[in-house]
Amino acid sequence: MSTENYDAYGEALPDTSGGQRDVTSASALLSRIGQVVFWLLVITIVAARIIYYPAGPAFDVGGATDQLRSVAR
C-alpha cells in the first residue's frame, strides 16, 4: 500500500527517499552564482560606506560659545 503526499495546491509530490529532492547541476550552479553575487554586493556597499562616510562627527558644533552672548542680550 503506497501513500501519496500532496503539496498545498493539491499536486502529488514526487516519491523520494528521505524527503529530499534531486538538485540538478544547473540549479546548483545558478544558486552558487547568486550567492556569490549577493555577497560581493554586500562587501562592495559596506566598503563604499567605510570609504566615503568616514567616522567623524555628523554635525559641526562650532557655535556653542555664541550661546552665552545670545543669552546676555
pLDDT digits (tens, 9 = 90+) for 13-62: 887 665 555 568 888 899 999 999 999 999 999 999 888 887 666 665 65
47 occurs within a structural domain: yes
Alpha carbons 39 and 52: distance in angstroms, whole number:
20
C-alpha cell at 10: 493539491
38 occurs within a structural domain: yes
* All residues at 6 or more sequence positions from 12 whose CB lies less than 8 Å from its CB, including other chains: 4, 5, 6
pLDDT of residue 44: 97
pLDDT of residue 21: 58
16 occurs within a structural domain: no
Residue 32 CB neighbours (<10 A)? 10
Query: Could you list the residue range(s) of the whole structural domain that residue 33 is in?
Result: 25-56
Q: How many domains does the chain have?
A: 1
Query: From the CA atom positions of the chain, what is the Rg in Å?
Result: 30
